[in-house]
Structure 1
Amino acid sequence: MLKPMNSRQRSWTQHQWLRLIAGSIILVSLTLALSNPAWLWLTAFVGLNLLQSAFTNWCPLIVLLQRLGVRG
């Protein structure tokens, strides 16, 4: 029998929020680029930020999420 999830299990981690927000920004900017190609700079910015965070293990969005109280 399945147990109901408590609030701790339902809350998202910082990395889940990071993937949701980054993916959403990329999809929105790609959609906006259909009307103005300058929006591709936002896509490039998010992609480069994700790339640098892979090497430095530091991401500005994680810092923001920590300040907002999102669990690690």
Structure 2
Amino acid sequence: MNLDRTVTLFAGCMVLLSVILTQFVSPYFLWFTVFIGANLIQSSLTGFCPAASIFRKFGIKTGCAFG
């Protein structure tokens, strides 16, 4: 699995987790979903993704998007 797929998998899991937490724990977890969405928008506009930087340090091979 390359870095691009890892980042999108991680983002998807975080969105699902935040929706579950919003439903069952507190509606304030909706802000976590907003944060994830803002990070996705920011990374698409700038090409910088904090999660990609962290995963790269773990040795995951780079893909096309976050090279």
TM-score (norm 2): 0.87
Check if 1:45 corresponds to 2:35: yes
Structure whose CA Rg is larger: 1
Matched with 1:63 is 53
* Alignment: residue pair count: 61
In the TM superposition, what whole-angstrom CA distance separates every residue of 1:10-34 from its partner, at most 9, and x where no partner exists? xx01110111110001001101101
* 2:10 aligned to which of 11, 15, 21: 21
Query: What secondary structure is seen at the aligned counterpart in 2 of 1:49?
Result: helix
In the TM superposition, what whole-angstrom CA distance separates every residue of 1:27-60 from its partner, at most 9, and x where no partner exists? 0110110131111111111110000000100000
| % same residue | 33
Runs of 4+ in 1 over 3 A off after TM superposition: none
- Structure 1 gaps, min length 5: 1-11
TM-score (norm 1): 0.81
Alpha-carbon distance, 1:66 to partner = 0.8
Alpha-carbon distance, 1:68 to partner = 0.5
**Larger relative contact order (CA 8 Å, sep ≥ 6):** 2
Alpha-carbon distance, 1:62 to partner = 0.5
